[in-house]
Structure 1
């Protein structure tokens, strides 16, 4: 029973993260289409992407992306018309258009 509950919680968390970010991998980049919710002044979470464990996304007035240090390749993150290429160990910011 506990295993089923954990899976349900993990599935719910995945659904919320994907719903809030509309994230997808396309053309070698992590594409995001963020949802702004007035009820949430900010939110953040970590994800695994292209061999990077713990890529942190934090949304407040801007999107902050933190790529943990590793030997992996840089990653491209795209948000609307903006793209940022981040090396492992770097933090980048993308300004959100209103």
Structure 2
């Protein structure tokens, strides 16, 4: 919960709580809560924080909007989402860029907004956007 709040308010500090949640969950500090489903809920919340909170991922004005938190602790990370009927839209973030790859399909291009700049990425194409300095 603290990580989500910080992802919106003091963004660079959010990673501390993500790391703490992952450590606690992997080590099972609660002593056997896996059977009650608490493990699954905690992991899902942590994954959501990384995918949406730390990337600033939102759907707004017909586009995927991103405003990523700088994470010097990670050299890069990525994940795949489904968006507007496109299965497997890949988002990969590194220290200085966001790479978006839209899988080949007969669907429409998708809009990607990064800090006020919007580009269109057609199916079967990739786009690399330079992240702004923070």
1:80 aligns with 2:120: no
User: Unmatched 5+ residue regions in structure 2?
Assistant: 1-33
- Where does residue 53 of structure 2 map in the other structure? 19
User: How many residues were matched structurally?
Assistant: 98
**Higher relative contact order structure (alpha carbons within 8 Å, sequence separation ≥ 6):** 1
User: Unmatched 5+ residue regions in structure 1?
Assistant: none
* Structure with bigger gyration radius: 2
1:71 aligns with 2:82: no
How much does 1:94 deviate?
0.6
How much does 1:11 deviate?
3.3
**Could you tell me the TM-score, scaled by structure 1's length?**
0.88
Q: Please tell me the root mean square deviation across aligned C-alpha atoms, in Å.
A: 1.7
Q: Is the 8 A contact 1:82 1:94 kept in 2?
A: no
Q: If each structure's helix is expressed as a fraction of its own residues, which one has the higher value?
A: 2
**Could you tell me the TM-score, scaled by structure 2's length?**
0.66
